[in-house]
Each structure stands twice: as structure tokens, then as C-alpha cells.
Structure 1
Amino acid sequence: MHGGEAPMPAVVVPLEALRAGMVAEAGGKAANLGEMLAAGFAVPGGFCVMTPAYRDALERADARSLAEAVDSEDDDARRPGLAARLRELLASAGLAPATEAAVRAAYERLSQAPAPGVRGSDAIHGGDGIPVAVRSSATAEDLPGASFAGLQETFLNVVGADAVLDAVRRCWASLWTDRAVAYRRAAGFQGAEAALAVVVQPLVDAAVAGILFTADPVSGSRTRMVVEASPGLGEAVVSGAVDPDRFVAEAATGQLLESRAGSKGLAVRPAAGGGTERVAPAGDAGPLCLGPGEVAELAALGRQLEAHFGSPQDAEWALAADGTLWLTQTRPITTLHPIPVRPSGSPAGGVRAWFCFSLAQGLTRPLTPMGIASLKAAAGSIAAQAGLAPSDADAGPSVVQAAGGRLFVDVTTVLRSRVGRRLAPRVLDVMEARSAGILRRLSADPRFPLEIRTPLPLARRVVSLAVRHHVPETLVRALVRPAAGLARVQRFGAVLEERLAPGTGGPAARLDRARDLLAREAFPIVPATLPVAAAGFVCAGLASLLLRGTARPGELQDVLRGLPNNPTTEMDEELRSLAERVRREAPAEADELAGHDGGELAARHAAGTLPEVLADGIAAFLGRYGHRAVAEIDVGMPRWREEPGPVLSMVSSMLLGDPAKDSFASAARAGEDAARSLASRARDRGRLRGAAVAALLARARALAGLREQPKFYLVRVFDAARTELHAVGRHLAEAGVLDDAGDVFFLDFAEARAALAAASAGHGPGRAEDDGGARLRGTVAARRADYARELRRRHVPRVLLSDGSEPEAVASATTPGEAGVPAGTALAGVPASAGTVTAAARVVLDPSAASLAPGEVLVAPSTDPGWTPLFVTAGALVMEMGGANSHGAVVAREYGIPAVVGVPRATERIRSGDRIEVDGAAGTVRIVAPAGGTEGSS
């Protein structure tokens, strides 16, 4: 496309003609501005150079292939050079003649009728044209899930048509700055697929300008609005050039709650001849640049913005010298986590506290909609067993709700109960220590007054439920005869397998079977298996009483290393043994496969080209453990049986080292030695005491490993339900109601029933009556987009209040800082497994594509059983989540590797390649040397 070709239609469009849905044509910023103008907000009028002009410039500069090269380039050293060349080409690219003429005409119209409160051209420029702001508006900007704020350029006080045209080209080039490229790569956006429009607006003659957050961006509270303001143009506040005045107002009324004067050491003002200059503020306007009335006016504006856009907003504003309040931009506050909401008819009144069940289960990623529906069905079964059956079986108990793809539990009643205040934090101390601290602080919060003082009603329910399901009997039998307890668990598993056989009916029957499996089979697993594992810990507790004065701190934990009868470590050991067998029987192939990508090996497995010993071993492994996966409590997650890439990746990592090195066997020997040593020392205080300690520790080692068995069986139930649901999905895809069988996991049970009804009615694509099918496909598409956005969320609150505030953030009163910390810095967490290791860190956010070299320190947000094969090669473990008895801590102890858990923002503050020292006894992680650096000292 060059000069002689026909001009593109509608390449320059007035802002008032744009709407929120026109992001592809106008970019996020321009679409929002047009939406605000249409809604009647005070926004300076102007025009937009639409995205086809950018795409035309890319073609005119013959730079599209270069843009694709920047996206695909994996060499960090080469990428900036490619991006710089691309910026040069775009900045020098000429506009199509028709586009240039349209921009000149639109600018002339603006100059002829400046808006009120806007500085006129002859004020400082002698009639060259009105001063304008020329602002980038990217298609990947100001979006619900990613703001990309400040990544592209804005040029202020641009005067004259030639200067405007030059600023437009420089805006286009700014789509490819190093920071913009890096941000898009991190957020999963392709720059070559993005485009950039350019907004041109009259420059507001701002006396004061700044930012309005309609919710507190630090605490998350939706009841407080925050205003930051400084004299002059808003660029001073937005760019961070000044310490602005800060105001906090009550959202509902605009009443000023807090104010703090900033230093305001400079102001950004329009400069003579164009551009801006930084000057000392003129005059002495007092310590604050806004009064209570002006803050209240901004709060009222914020309420209007929230009502129109339906979510908290981050808005930029300017107060003109004539007193006019202008809006210059608004975007969603993308960092706020959605708030769980109890259904109508649930208890109301006062602030409610929501505990994140997903995080407690080691999940930072979101659950699929069907995964949420399945867990709610299982929770409804538990509630029914306790005599608290929900009115809607599919909805589950009202205390369990989803937000942001995570499950939350309403713990308000727990906080208002004497026994709840004591018991819940103690349970969490060993599972998720940071959450325990939050609940303790909330127990002292006057918003959660003590209302339930007697434990009797709860005790009656718990005792009745335990007796009904033979919990005391099972516990006592295991204490007296451990072998009988183990046999009971194995018999239960065999019967469960028979009950989980795939259904044979039609799709409607299989959908009902999936729902029934979750409601009928999930709960009985707990009373049938957990008491047997609990018996092991009871024995350990009794032994600790007999060992008072004999055992040193931590020695009893040594006894619980390398425990038998743990299905998770047995699974890991089978993989390690497989790697050893491959190394022994096919050494040349083992060398070739070591460190290979799991996806590539999975393709070879499907094609039948893997070495026979590995192919046979993987088939046998998947036959026993193929129902497992990362985030395996989500029925929407593919199982290893379906996608074996993660398992093969783990085997290839094991082949990098010495698979014959058996850390678990070493841990088991150490555990047995510790038990013998303690029993011998107890015998010195009496033969009977020594015999009792020996018997109790033997029982503890035999039974405590079963702590993983309940989840192992539960995941089998989820896997069986997934099998039924996948069959339903295939039917719906074949009927044309859904595009893909996997789409069924982005519906819930009621919607899946509606989809089957649509399929029965023949509502497939291309049918005139396809209202139901089209609606369901639209629902799936929207939910897939939501799911992808939530996958990028790095921070999930442990506890969230119903006003949106996050207690942990309020307590720390800090916001996340830059990634990486200086050498010598020590990070504190919870001691989880003793020992000290100094090695390179490997930060892993998703184990499905992870490769961990032998000896590296695994740094993760959290772990579940799908992660644990990585422990076989890990030298140590660092986790953001967890307590001393969380899953990762337990497995680390069983393998005898040092572990520190509950380290805030570990995956941000530690980078892959950093050399770190993990002290599992002290609970500290020290950065010895940053990646590529030299060792520092503490």
C-alpha cells in the first residue's frame, strides 16, 4: 500500500463517535474516551487516528516481518536491536496522503473552537494552532485484565499540524519500546497482533491535576476512594516525578477521611514553543492543592464512573484554571481481586470475611467453571452430611462461593465463635501459616464481635457425624492393629475403583452420573481413610510425651522422613526408578533424551518412537497414576493420561543427573535410624518406656504416610467425573452445540443440561433456530477469555473482606516492589524441613512445562501432588504458601531436602539463576549472588 492507492475509510474519527466496544479500531484509551463522551462526562473533545493508519504505516515501512521477528526472538541480547530498528522505521514512515490531509483538517477544526478551560493558541504560541495532547491508544491497553498503563508515549503541548503528524509517528514507534515489548511478552500478548491508534485532544489549562482511584489500590477497599493531586499538568503525578498530595474519601458520601501533603517540589507546565517544562510551583496555595469540596466533587465523579463502567476505575483528571473539572482518561483497576458474594437470602449485615480455599489447596491458578461446580457439588454433599443441606444442590452451600476463578469460604461465623477463633488458626499454623496470622488479627477486629460463646452445638454435630461414619472405631482399630487399618484402607480403595467404572448410558445419564459421583463418592473417603492416617500422628504425639527430656527439638520430625504407604512418594519413586531403568538399559538413548522438552517427548510417545523401555514404563506409570495432574482437584484440568508431557519432562530432567541416587531411600533409612535411636534412649529410662516408644514410633511410621491417601482417592473421583463429562463434551461437539469437547468444562451442570437440550432440539451451527447453541458458545468464549486473564494474575488474597479490602495488604501497608533483591538479602519464612543448601534457584510457576536440573532449588508459589516429581531432583524447596505441615513441606521432609515455606513474594523476589542459601531450620532464604553476578555477603 503506497501513495497512489485508495485511502482507508474512516481513518480519522471524532472521539464522540467512538464507543467502548471499538478497541480493535481505536485502542483501549480512545474507546474509553468516546464512551465517556457519549455518557455525558466532561472530556475534552478531539479526534482519533484509527488503527488502520498504523497498520498502513507498518506496511509502508515494510516492517511487518520485523515486528513478527521481535515477537519470536528468544535471544534477550538481540531483541532490543530488532525493536530499535522497528521504531526507526515507524518514526520515519510517511502517512498516506489522504490520512495526512484528514489529520490536518481535524486539527484545524479543533484550533478554531477550543473548549472551555483549554489554553488558546494565541496565549503563548501566536496563533500557530491550539496546543494539544497527542496520546497513544493501543489495542492491548486499558483492558479489563491488563492496563498496560504508561507503556506507550504521550506528547503534551504539541502545537501545529506538522508537530501533530510527527507526534503521531512517534506514538506508533512507542508500541515497540523495550519496556512495552517486555511487558507484552510477560503478559502473553503478541506485539505483531497489536495495533495503535492515536488520540488528539485540546490540552487542558490545568491548575491542578492527578489521579482518582475509585477503590483503594493498596488495601482493595471499595468503600474508600483515593485521590492524588499536584499543581500543573497531570504528567507530574502519573510519571511519579513528584510526591503528590494524597486524599482518602468515603466512597459513598465523598467525605474527606484522610489527607497528606506531598512535597510537590515541581510542576509540569506547557513551555513556550511547545512541549513541557518542569518548574517550581508558582505562589503559595497552602499545604494542600485541593479542598474538601473538590475532593467530594471528584468522589461524586468516581461514583458515576463506577456506575457506568461497572467496575472500580483508575481515572486521570484535570481541574482547569476556570474551575472546570475534566476527565482525561479512565481504565479499570486491574489489580483488584473480585469479591465473593453470598446468594440472596444468606445472612447479611456487617463485613464478612472470605478465606481462599484454592490457595489453601496449593492452587494459585484459577479453576475452570466446571471445576468450581464440581467442588461445590462435593461441598454440598458434606453440608448435607452435617445436616446443612443447601436448597439448590448444584449451587452448593452458600458459605462456598467463587470469585476470580478461585473458591472462597465465608469464615465470618468462625471469627465470631470462641472455638472457631481458637481452632481455625491452630489448624492453619501447620497448613498455611500466613493465613493463620490473618485470622488471629481479624479475631481482634471490632467488626467481628464474639457472638457464639459455647462450642456445644458444633461439638454435637461433629460427634454425631463421626459416630455415624465409624470414625472412633476406625481410629482405635488402627491404633491397636496397624495392619488391620492399612488393610481397611486398601479394601476401601478396591471397592471405590469398582464404583468409579465409566458409565454406559447416554450423554444425559453420564452428566447425571458425573454429578452423582461427586455428591455420593467424595465425602465417604474422608472418614474411611483419614482416621487411619490420624492414628499414626496420635502415636507420634504419644511418643513425644514419653520422650520429654529425652528427645531434642526436631528429632521426632526426623522419624517421619521417608514414610512408607504414601501414594505420592510411591508415585515419585516409580518415576525415578523408570529413569534409572532407561539409563541402565538404553544409555545412549538416555543421553539423547536428557533435558528434552516434555511436549516433544509426548509427540514421540504418541508416534511410537520413544525407546521401548521408556514407552513401556510410561504406559505402566500412567496406568497407575494417569488420573493425576497439576491442579488435579479441578475436573477441567487434563490428566497425565491425556497429556503425558509433564511426566515425560520430569523423567528427562531426572536423566540429567544420576537417577540411581535414591534420596527417598536415604530419608527412609534416616527415619528408621532416628526411631531406633529414640527408642534406645527411652529404654535408658526404663524398659517399659523404651518398648512403648518403639511400638508407637513403628505405628507412626507405618500409618502417617497415609495422610496423602484421602486426596489420592478424591482425585480418582474427580477423574471419574471428568471421564463422564468429557463424554458429554464430545457429544455436544459432534452435535455442533459446542466447538470442542473441552468446552464443556467452561459450563456448569445446569448449563451442560441446557446444552444437551439444545443438542436434542438440533440447535447446531448454521441452524436458524440456534439461539441456545449460539448463546452457549458465546458463554464459553467469554469464560475462556476470563480464565486466560486470571491465569496471568500473580497475586491472590489469602483472606478477602466483603468491602474488598485485603487484611494482609492493610497490615503490611506496602505494595509489591521490583523483582530481584540485592545479594546478601535474607528472606524470612516458616521452617519446614531442616538442612542448609546453597544452589541456583529455579522459579517455577507451572510445573507442566518445567525442567529442574538436579540440585537446583525449586522456588514455587505452592505445590500439590502434581508438582512432587520435581522434588526428586530438587536440592531444596522455597514456597510462598504453606506451613510446617503443608503438602510441599511434608514431601520435602520425606525426601530430606531443606525447605522454607510461607515466604512472601518469593517468586518475584528470587529470580531463576540467583544463587541462594536455604536454611530449613532457621526458616530463611539468603540471596548469595544474583543471576550472572558474584557472591555477596550477608
Structure 2
Amino acid sequence: MSPVPVAPERPEAPVHVLPLASCADDDVAALVGGKASGLGRLISQGLPVPPGFVVTTDAYRAGVAAAGLGPRIDQLLAGAGTPSGDHEVSERIRALFVDTVITSDVAAAVRAAYAGLGHGSAAADGDHEQGIPVAVRSSATAEDTADASFAGQQETYLWIRGADDVVARVLDCWASLFTAQAIGYRARLGVPVEDVAMAVVVQTMVPAEAAGVLMTLEPTTGDRSRVYIESAFGLGEAVVRGDVTADRYWVAKETLTLTAEQINPKEKAWRFDAQADALLFTDVPAELQKTPSLRTEEAVALAGVGRRVEEAFGFPVDIEWAFGPADADGQRELFTLQARPETVWSRRPAPPATAAQPAETAQPAETTPTATAPVVDPYDDWDPLHDPSAPELHWSTSNLGEAMPGMLTPLSWSLWSPVVEHAPREAARAIGGLTRAESRVPADVSQRYIRIFYGRPAMQAEFLALLGDRMPGTTGPDAVASILGRVPEDIAFAPTARRYPSVAWRLPVTFATAPKKARQLARETDEWWRASLARVDQLGHADLLALLQDAARRHDYAVTLQSILILSTMQPLYDTLRKIVERAGVGDIATLGGVGGAEMAVVADIWRASRGELTVEDVVGRHGFHGPFEGELSSRVWREDDSPLRKIIEDYARRDDSADPVAREQARRLQLAEAQREVVAALPVTGRPAARTALRLAAARLPLRGVPKRSFLQAFDVARACARRIGALLAADGRLADPEEVFHLTVDELTGDPAGGHHRAGGPPPGAPRPVPAGDHSG
């Protein structure tokens, strides 16, 4: 390892700007914040980091002092301590950060440093068109450590150009030190406000062709012998925010050999649109969606960087990275954008690199291979956001995070928990893979396939092994690899053909009936959603609980139908399309999979609103159950806060008419018909009739995949409305200190039904408020 250059000692006089290369030493950590310190250490190791500088905490403190904000902030923070209180305090504090807070000498230093990044006189006059694009990122002094993660709690601004805009974004980053989430999290961890200050990193943008994150351990098992990589096209925000299903790669840390990969469809990417002069979440061309975002040598190179950083830092790390455009030789330059401590497994003893191989044991075909003695843990027993697990089981958060994003509240999980356990079991029974007895949800949490760990849901890989062992046309190892990207050596498989007769008669019946049920459900739920929301505010406590339970039942039915549709219709049709395309040697599944669907209706209405054909209120009236983190009850969807929707409409309004999604959809319909004819013509004559039927069914039914999702989001939204109204009533009665505290109760605690399956021994009695969870799950 090369020696680390010693950064200059921190000068006595205030320093407002430092180059990133001067941020590696611990002596300046309090001056530059965690993010800049990490970048400085990367530079000191000779790793490629985009050029940049940091606006120091001295600059922040100088501005706060000059504007006299300190006493006012202290006074306002005294009113925090509850969810709604944190939000109100946040808004009032952030409103204090007006232009005058940045002193003239700080602004001048920022402008000079920005000009030094390689851009000309436009920096001084703020010419937006000529400015070099930069990323402006918060770098707080209470930044990520191995004991706590502040990731995502302060602001990042991408593709900022012109000195005026850079200065304005620095001010916004200062204000983001006081988001409601950051206020609450610091309070739970006991971080005094006087111990935090905001530095701001400014770096040139990388026009990334591929980007993502890597961890120097396996996140599902903590195995430190592997490097884990997630990658997608465009900027890495799509991966960090969970906007796309990323490609996944596993590399052996010692030998730097690729041991496994999982290439997923990547339908969208964050890219800069020159015509709109904005970052847009754009469509990836259909022919590229299933193309690997990384070459093998790139994944290996990334793993080598991760190993090098871990050795230098002395602990497992989480790194954000990007590959720039390819040069004339097709090579893409790698940049490291951020490095921070990994905050989950770092708290625990390092697990063995490979678990011991268990003795071979035959398992009866009709029994669940995960029947283990209940694991007793006093922490698990009362915590509704953490379940027990036997140590030999394997878990993955893949495919669950999209529906249930981030860390759930107790109320959300108490609605989701029985649903996500029931839905896959019932879907497997509907196609013949499970018996009726096996499809029932066990009362014992330790026997469930979907559980929650530190606030995040996960699926047991052994359940997929069970289904793969029983279903014709697949295997247990294939099913496990589909979610884990690899097959752990210590999973036992028990292949059997005993369920084949049941699958042979149940699957065709379900294939024939599920699509009609989905369409009928959509019609009924749409009408019920509007009618229910219209009467929520007039209901009393008892009627609200009844409507909440009705919403829970409808949510269960819709999620279950979605699971049935996927297993009985979507997956068989995708498999059939793949085989047809392979036999024909022409065509692609993305085109042959049909056009339209529930998602397209939302996009089309937003486009029409951007052209003045619909109002924002029209879009909300049709799709108001959508919004950021719509799978979490405590989030605010468009009908409650339409500002995210308005931003999307504004982004669409900047696009040229050629981007009209309806016109593009019509063009795809023509392409679909031509693609079908081309595929059929390439097949032997005897195989053409069956292929025509399969292609017709695929085009008609695959677009239904989003229909039950719309229905379950609508049911969930009615539950959200009921919860907020119940919270308001309980607060008015003095039973809750704040209406938002309702989300820290469970359904059974609200209804007073401890036998409902969610209440745990040692927790608060039904109806009593649960303390806001500590920071344990926030890492």
C-alpha cells in the first residue's frame, strides 16, 4: 500500500473552500464533513475521483453567525420531538436560509473555486449555458460511521451549471441539515445540534453510461470474502433510490474472479437531456434493457477498487461509482464518487466466508424444509419491525423493496405482513405447487417465508427452492439463483414430481381465469377508492376501523391476485416467448410483450397535463394514490401533496412533442404487428399456428401485469386515509401526542385485537402508543 500523503494542518484562520485532495487527514474532518473526508482518502490512494472542492463548515458557521440564526434555530428545535413537530420545525428553520446567509467572501470563494474547475468567465456572471456541470452534495459533520447511517437525509443536486446556481445550491444544502428526517434521526441518536455543521462538496459531473454501488461484503449474509455490485444504465441515482431493478454481480475478493451475475431488465435510466436541459428519467431502448450494464472486466476492476479501499480504510465499505463514456477503443473510465462505512454487518462479528455443508438428508416432498424450532430473542419478541430467523436460512430483499420501500413503520408492516405471506402461498396453491394446508399462513412467525429484519422485509430463498423442486420446467437451484443470483452451498434441495398432476390441471384453469378477475377487480376497486376517500373525513372511530379492515381485505385480495397472475400467466408467457424467439432466431421479448397497461395510463395523463389538456387536479383525481414511497402508509401521495407530480409535469412540459408517449405507444403497436409476422415467418410451417396463438395471448395478457398493482395501491391508500383520520381523532382525544404517531402502532393495537397475529408479548397493550423506534433500524 502506498503511503498516505499528509494533508496540511488546519489553519487557525477560517477556511471557506478546500480542494478535495486536502480533505484526507483526520485533522480537517470536522472542517469538511464525512463525504469530503471519504473522497479525500480516495484521492490519497490514487483512485480516480472527479475534480472538485468542498465548501467548509467554517463557511457554514460564518453564514449562520452573520445572519444571527443560531439562537433562532435553537428556539425552533425546542418544538421538535414528534413527527409532525419535526416537519413544522424543519420548514420554519429551512425558510431562514435566504440568500443573505451566504456572506460575500464565502460566495466569492465558491465562485473562484468553481471557475478553477476548468470553466471560463461565465462563472462570474452566472451564465447558465456556459457553466461546467457539477454535482453539489451535502457533507455533514455527523456523517456516516460504522454505527450510524445518515445516507439520504441531506440534499444532493445534480447537473448544476453556472456560479449563481452553484452558490444557491450550497445554501440549499446548508438548509438540508434541518430536514425533518435529519432532525428526528439526530435526536434519536442523541447528537446535539451544536455538534453538527454542513460542508458542501462540489464536483464535476460524470456523464455516466453505467453507475451504481458496491459493497465489500455480501449484503444478505455478511460474507466478507465477496464484493457485491449493483449496476444500471445512466446515473447511479436509479440504483441508490431503487428506481430500477439493477444488474447484480458477485466477485471473489481474494482472486478477483466473477463468481455470479444476475442481469435484470432495466427499463429506465437517469440521463441528462440536452433538449430539455434537465435530468430526466428516460426509457431505455427495448433492445438494450436486458443487456448487461457492465462487462466482466469492468465488474472485476470495480471489485479491485473496493478491495483496495477497504484495505485503506480498515473496515467494509459502501462505494458509489460511475463509468464514463467509452473512448475510441471502447474503454470506459471508472470514477469513484463516494465511499462510506457499511453500517449493518459492520456492527456484528464477521461471519465465516462459507457456511459448513450440512449432511445430506432426504426431505418429504410435501413438507416445508424450513420447519425449525422457534428462535426466542427478547428484542425480537416485542419489536414489530424485526423477526426471528434460524441462522441457516437465506434471505433476500430483492423484489420486495419496490412494493415496500425503505424502512417500514409498524402500521405499514402490520398491513403488509399477512398479505405478503398469504399471497405467494395462495398463488403457489393456485397453480398446483402447494397443498391447501401448506398455503395457510402459519401463526408462528418463525415458520413464515416473508419476514422483516431491522425494518426491511425479506423473502426466504428456501421457499423458492421448494417451489422450484416441485414445478415442471424449472429446478430448485434455478429458482434460488433467480433471486439470490447464485446458489448457496448449504441449501438442501428435494426435487419431486409428486405435484406435477396437480400443476397439470390447476395451472391451465388459473391461466384462463386470472386475467378476467384482474380486469373486474380494477373496475370495482377504482369506484370503491373514490367513494371511500370521499367519506373518510365524516366517519367516526368505529367506522374508520371498519373501513380500515375492509381496505386490508381488499389489499390482501389484490396482492394475492397479482401474485397469481405472475405465476400463472406472466411467467409462463415470458418463458414461451423466449422459446419462440430462440427457435425463430428473430424478434425480441420486449416488443412481443405487448403495449399499454396501467402504467401507460398514468404516463399518458401526465403528458396531457403537461400540454394543458388536463389539470393537475384531473391527474390527482385519477391517480392520486401514487407518490413517493407509496408502499409506506406514512408517506404522502399525490392526493395529499401534489408537488412531486407538478415537478414531473414541468419536466414533461420541457420535452419536445416528439416525446409524446401516446404517439410512441401507437408506433410500438405497429412494430408489434410487424414483429409478430416476422417471427411467425421464420418458424417451420407446422409450428406457426401454435406460435400465432402464443404471440396473440402474450400481447393481450402481459400488459395486465400492472392492473392488480393499481388496485392494491388504491386499497392501501384508503388504509392510509383511515390511519391519518384515526391519528387525528386519537390526538384530539389526548391519546396520542401527535397524529402521525398512529403509524407507530400496529393494526391490532388500533383495533384492540392482540390475537390478530401482529401483537407481540412485551409490546405495548392494544391501543397504547408505541414509542417512536430508536435509530437501530435506520442503518
- TM-score band w.r.t. shorter chain: 0.3 to 0.5
Q: Which has the larger radius of gyration?
A: 1
